[in-house]
Structure 1
Amino acid sequence: MSLEKFVTVNTQHGPVKGDRRTTILGMDYINFQGIPYMKAPVGKLRFRAPVEPEKWTETFDATQDCPSFPNYDSNLKKTTGIEDGGRINVFTKEIRTSNLYPVLVYIHGGGYQVGSSSPNFLYNPCYFLQKEIIFVSFNYRVGALGFLSLDDPSVDVPGNAGLKDQRMALKWIKENIKNFGGDPDNITLFGTSAGGASVHYHLISEKSKGLFHRAIAMSGTSLNMNWAHHPRRNYAERIAKLCGYEGDGSDKSVLEFLENADFEKIMEKAESILTNEEKYEEQMIVTVSPVVEPYITEHTFIDKSPILMAREAWSKDIDVIFGGTSNEGLLMAFFPDNNKERIEGLKNSSNFAPLLDLNLDKNDPKAQKFRKILKELYFGEIEPTVSNMLPYYYYQGDLQFWHGIQRSVLSRIKTGGKGKTFTYYFDIITEMNTFKKNFKLDHYPGAEHAACSTYVFKNSLGIIPLIDSIEFKNIIKVVGIISNFAIYGHTGVDEWEENKSLELPLRCLHLTKDAMQMIDLPETARLKVWDEIYREAGAVLY
């Protein structure tokens, strides 16, 4: 008996129509793409917390590719996407009314500046659809449209609209997924890079309490302070002036201008607001991103430093996996135009020290001392140079990723909850390392930043591996770990030890193309130096 091509499901806001499809592996599934979970954030809603969409009565067509929120493409020098991008995707094998599927929810990365959940680009879930799960993904506002923050409480733009979008999407999933055959009491949240940091924010923000039941933060946490958590500065006025603003500088005046400005121009100009000091001395690698909100509202998502939030995390009793790749710092090779200036800065100032996180001025004698310690740690007696990039990539990997990941693991352990905390070390290198291949980085050791995502999603940039290839075997391995965690509450890897002690080194599951085994975190010796610097500076580690 043939099945109807289209399937209609009711949601809280109205009926949606999906269609039946088949994955590249021959698995039949039902596809729902681009379901609105929020009202279009235009006009007075442009920078504010999301609002639920109006209800509809006509069946919504969810068979088309999910449109993205505005993204500025630095290569094409143009902005793509639409402001009505608050959409969600659901992929399921069948619509069950009993024996509900576990739900796996993915948050895309992109440094809080770019990205979308489109399965036609980076995040096709065909490998996950081999498993007994429902897969869900969604868009959230990025860049200036998602993270603009203003001081004046009367304008009601405290920041973090993009994270609040995510929270609304999670609420939608909790309230609607049963209609698609998913179990609202068995939801696992995972994400990569900014998606991983977002997962961690949901773990520590009270606003997300109870919306999911397990989590995996991959290559990013809220304690990656140079990009996942920003100081609050006059970014809104800077953007407005680049767009032609000539007002009095008040928050009300700036906001009124930006609410009426062309969103494409806002996204384009936001790319160039960082000063040389911010980029090359403070080591900031993105523009507007999550901040501590300057006043409390009913939507407040980040009310104090993530370090303090983590100590009080609602999620201390649920199981969490943290991890990263063996050469996270290769991310910097994705943006070659900035590296020459960054390396020159390392030669001449206190740029090595994480000034923002240590709350130090660049001229502070401690900053100068820490610069010397870190320069010697990574470069020895050799001056930083573009002809010797590997030490620079290791430095950036520790600064931007691994130190924050380790601190996040230790913070979880220190809370003393019942939840288990696991750590992995991704070191798989095959033809599936899409970013490493496309940026011609094969001569560098290790797996690049976000490499793990290319082993769990079919993407338009990489190869489609043969079933009997080493690449496909590793896809099965990584997808299996994540799926087992979502379905059964364990990874299926018996030898994977949880981290229980504040004593270093962390114990990690080392994933290589040929094996899985427990090891001490290889970055430990370097990260101990960072810890000593934090302690001497009087900065809080976790």
Structure 2
Amino acid sequence: MRSFRLILQLLALGITQVLGVPLTPRDADAYPTVTLDYGTYQGVTSGSVTSYLGMNYAQPPVGNLRFAAPQEPEPFTGVADATSYGAACPQQDIVLPDLLPKNVTITSASGLISEDCLNLNVIKPANVSAGDSLPVLFWIFGGAFEIGDASTYDGSLYVERSIALGQPIIFVALNYRVNAFGFIASQEILDANATNLGLRDQRLALQWVNKYISQFGGDPEKVTIWGESAGAFSVAAHLVWNEGDTGGLFRAAVMQSGPPISLRTVAEGQQYYDQLVENTGCSGEDDTLACLRSVPYLELQAAIALSPTFFSYQSLTLAWEPRIDGQVVLRNGMKYIQEGLYAKVPVIIGDCYDEGTLFSFGNVNVTTDDGFLEYVHSNYIPVASDSQIEALGEAYPSDLSEIPYLGAAHATDILEFFGSIDYIAPDALIFFTNNLNPNAPADLESGLSKLSDITWDQWGSDISAPPLLTFVDPAPEVEITADTFRADAISLLNELMLLFP
């Protein structure tokens, strides 16, 4: 195995943003300020875009707030510097399998890392001011709930492109707690009302946007939430939060490679909590949670690194993930959907052709049909009967793909959505954020967007062959295809997912 250190361990342990320190006088146009009810931030303008980076949407989750629900930010005096990205939250250490192609990278934090990481970025057109009411695109990164950093995704691309299209938007991205810092689960955590902290971070950030985005020229009633992988699963969680009550926090949603999923329980996460307690020397304490909150950061980070990751044998049976807790997540997300208890908002759902290949490297020793069925049964769907598992095996025969190696693997679409090769994907999201329709507006200037050359009808417009907008090689080719891929197998999987609580 080759080791890939996804955490810059010694860069920063303390607070990353000093609030209330007087700044050197700067040009007001190049370095504008925005005043919120808890303090003033100074941003930076570059060309047609103004960015306010690393603004705290919550108090630092340190000390007694480690493994605790996020709290609204405290007031500060003076002017806080928001001209550079804030720290990413602590990352899980990932070991990449030797089988993984050398050109495949796993993106985590690109800079500073600290427990003081509950910050967000607002990127907007420079000529927009309070009261202009632009729609807002709110990005939630992925990373298997183990890694991720908002600064690795350049939101200025979306703002600049939206200006060029005459469809201006504001881009917001947050950092939220991941791995054990954000998704620790146990009876002790449940008793402390501290489950699903990463989701709670996201919800508080959405509430921050609802309260303050008008100060930046945004419309709090025109927010679209968008995520990929774990970010998409998070979007799905917000769609069923409070049985579909959005609280006015968003009006549309985009999910790439992550639908409402069937989650495991807090009780099933107890083993990872207990192991963390043991590995930090807290086993003999009467209050193990209090002990974990007092463990020095580097010691805690090293203990978390011993837990399995998405490249481990158990793959996507994650140690640290959202769990059914009866507080934030009440039950199986699929059942919410089946019963109509979800936010009735426009949605876009996307996927990659070969979603599963990336997650098979930790279990390449599963080499027989019987071994495969046992692995799926014990690791993913223990509630299924033997006959149901056999049916699943028949639905997924042992036929090797002709596509080289990983194919169109999970997360390969990120290059399209955060790249400028053809702007097809960014254009679709910009149009959707503005108009709740990913198609190019009829009055769009000819030649501005390749989407003017194609019409993408709603999925339900053709029940027998629901239309998909499909990206094909070579870029920038797109076409409309029918969403009939493995329809019977997917129907069976949906049925099995409903077996969960």
TM-score band, normalised by shorter chain: 0.7 to 0.9
Distance 1:311 1:175, change over 3 A: farther
Residue in structure 1 matched with residue 65 of structure 2 by the alignment: 45
Q: 1:232 to 1:81 in 2, by over 3 A?
A: same
Partner of 1:353: 377
Counterparts of 2:372 and 2:139 in 1: how far apart (Å)?
41
TM, length-normalised to structure 2: 0.78
Cα deviation digits, residues 272-299 of structure 1 (max 9, x gap) = 34599x965x6644211101115xxxxx
> Which residue does 2:411 correspond to in 1?
450
Inter-CA distance 370–350: structure 2 relative to 1 (3 Å threshold)? farther
Q: Summarize the Cα distance change of 1:212–1:74 in structure 2 as closer, same or farther, 3 Å threshold.
A: same
CA distance in 1 between counterparts of 2:275 and 2:161 reads: 48
**Residue 480 in structure 1 maps to residue 427 in structure 2:** yes
C-alpha distance 312-44 of structure 1, shift in aligned 2 (>3 A): farther
Q: CA deviation at 1:44?
A: 1.5
State the shift of 1:91 in Å.
Answer: 0.5
Aligned-residue offset at 1:518: 3.7
Structure 2 residue aligned with 1:146: 182
Amino acid in the other structure paired with 2:208: W
CA contact (8 A) 2:383 2:500 kept: no
After TM superposition, the score normalised by the length of structure 1 is 0.72
The counterpart of 2:487, out of the listed 524, 530, 541, is 524
Match of 1:325 among 339, 349, 352: 352
Q: Which residue, out of 117, 126, 129, partners 2:160? A: 129
Q: Distance in 2 between matches of 1:356 and 1:238?
A: 21
| Distance across 1 between alignment mates of 2:37 and 2:481 | 46
CA distance in 2, matches of 1:3, 1:16: 12
Cα pair 2:138 2:223 within 8 Å, conserved: yes
Matches within 5 A, 1:180-195: 180-195=216-231
- Measured against aligned partners, the alpha-carbon deviations of 1:121-179 in whole angstroms (never above 9, x if no partner) come to 34444244320111000000001010112324885144101100000000001110111
Deviation at 1:528, TM superposition (A): 3.6
SS where residue 126 of structure 1 aligns? Answer: helix
The equivalent of 1:422 in structure 2 is none
**TM-superposed deviation, 1:342:** 4.8
36 and 246 in structure 1: CA distance in 2 versus 1, 3 angstrom threshold: same
Task: Select which of 76, 88, 99 maps to 1:68.
Answer: 88
Distance 1:311 1:524, change over 3 A: closer
- Which aligned pairs between 1:287-436 and structure 2 lie closer than 5 A? 287-294=319-326, 300-311=327-338, 315-332=342-359, 336=361, 338-343=362-367, 347=371, 350-353=374-377, 356-357=380-381, 359-360=383-384, 366-367=385-386, 369-380=387-398, 390=401
The residue number in structure 2 matching 1:175 is 211
Q: Distance in 2 between matches of 1:235 and 1:504?
A: 45
The one of 48, 56, 79 aligned to 2:76:
56
Contact 1:203 1:313 in 2 (8 A): no
State the Cα deviation string for residues 239-259 of structure 1 (Å, max 9, x = none): 1112223326xxx62212211
Q: Which moved more, 1:260-269 or 1:87-96?
A: 260-269
Using the aligned pairs only, state the percent identity. 25
Quick check: 2:135–2:169 contact (8 Å CA) kept in 1?
Answer: yes
Post-superposition offset of 1:502: 11
Of the three residues 269, 275, 279, the one matched with 1:238 is 275
5 Å matches for 1:211-250? 211-223=249-261, 225=263, 231-247=268-284
For the Cα contact (< 8 Å) 2:30–2:44, is it kept in 1?
yes
Residues 505-526 of structure 1, C-alpha deviations (whole Å, 9 max, x = no match): 6542323231221413323243
TM-aligned CA distance change 1:521 to 1:264, over 3 Å:
farther
Partner SS for 1:496: coil
**Number of residue-to-residue matches in the alignment:** 438
Structure 1 segments unaligned to the other structure (5+ residues):
23-27, 295-299, 361-365, 383-387, 392-441, 459-464, 466-471
Find the counterpart in structure 2 of residue 113 from structure 1: 146
Aligned equivalents of 2:328, 2:55: Cα separation in 1:
24
Q: Secondary structure at the match of 1:55?
A: coil
Q: Following the alignment from structure 1 to structure 2, what is the Cα–Cα distance between the partners of residues 34 and 452?
A: 26
**Does the aligned pair in 2 maintain the 1:70–1:264 contact within 8 Å?**
no
2:417 & 2:493 partners in 1: Cα distance?
32
CA distance in 1, matches of 2:49, 2:351: 31
Deviations 1:352-397 (A, max 9, x none): 337654524xxxxx33x445444454344x8xxxxx6x49xxxxxx
Q: Distance in 2 between matches of 1:143 and 1:124?
A: 24
Instruction: Give SS of 1:4's match.
Output: coil
1:314 to 1:209, Cα distance in 2 relative to 1, 3 A: farther
1:113–1:142 CA contact under 8 A, matched in 2: yes
Structure with a larger share of its residues in helix: 1
Kept in 2: contact 1:279–1:285 (CA 8 A): no
Q: Which amino acid aligns with 1:234?
A: Q
Q: Following the alignment from structure 1 to structure 2, what is the Cα–Cα distance between the partners of residues 104 and 456?
A: 13
Distance 1:272 1:310, change over 3 A: farther
Alignment match, 1:31 = 51
* Residue 127 to residue 503, structure 1, CA distance change in 2 (3 Å): closer
From the superposition, tell whether residues 111 and 504 of structure 1 become closer, same or farther in structure 2 (CA, over 3 Å).
farther
Which secondary structure does the structure 1 equivalent of 2:148 belong to? Answer: coil
Is the 1:47–1:145 Cα contact (8 Å) retained in structure 2?
yes
Number of the residue aligned with 2:201:
165
| Match in the other structure for 1:257 | 291
343 and 135 in structure 1: CA distance in 2 versus 1, 3 angstrom threshold? farther
1:25-60 per-position Cα deviation (integer Å, ceiling 9, x unaligned): xxx211111000100111211111100111012111
Q: Are 2:196 and 2:323, in contact at CA under 8 Å, matched by a contact in 1?
A: yes
- Shift of residue 210 of structure 1? 1.5
* Native 8 Å contact 1:496 1:518 kept in 2: no
Structure 1 pair 210–375 and aligned structure 2 pair: CA distance change class (3 A): same
Work out the CA distance in 1 between the residues paired with 2:280 and 2:197: 21
- Structure 2 gap segments, 5+ residues each: 1-26, 97-107, 163-167, 441-453
